[in-house]
């Protein structure tokens, strides 16, 4: 599992309805929970976001993004999200 940030309201509503929530190709992902939490806390509106697990492998399912830190990558395939 890797991690991503998502807006609480729509993501949580879909999860509560048992609707599959997917992070699309090109979406930003983080290698560790700590990296995701750090990114969220640095956002002006970080309180509107939560960290979610992404059903993907860091080495196989992500690729480097331009102007990103080493612990931040982009998905190279869509992947399902899960609450922490």
Average pLDDT by consecutive 10-residue portion of the chain (84 residues)?
A: 94 91 93 96 94 97 84 94 94
Residue 55's pLDDT is 97
Predicted structure pTM score: 0.91
Angle at 37 between CA 65 and CA 5, to 5 degrees: 55
Residues 6+ apart with CB under 8 A from 6: 21, 23, 49, 50, 52, 81
Q: How many CB atoms lie within 10 A of CB 43?
A: 11
Q: E-strand spans in 2-66?
A: 2-7, 22-23, 28-30, 49-54, 62-63
Residue 70 is predicted with a pLDDT of: 83
């Amino acid at each position: 599992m890797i991690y991503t940030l998502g807006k609480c309201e729509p993501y949580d509503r879909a999860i509560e309805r048992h609707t599959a929530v997917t992070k699309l190709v090109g979406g930003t992902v983080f290698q560790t929970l700590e990296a995701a939490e750090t990114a969220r806390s640095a956002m002006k509106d970080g309180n509107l976001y939560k960290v979610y697990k992404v059903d993907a492998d860091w080495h196989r399912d992500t690729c480097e993004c331009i102007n990103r830190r080493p612990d931040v990558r982009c998905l190279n395939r869509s992947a399902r999200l899960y609450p922490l």
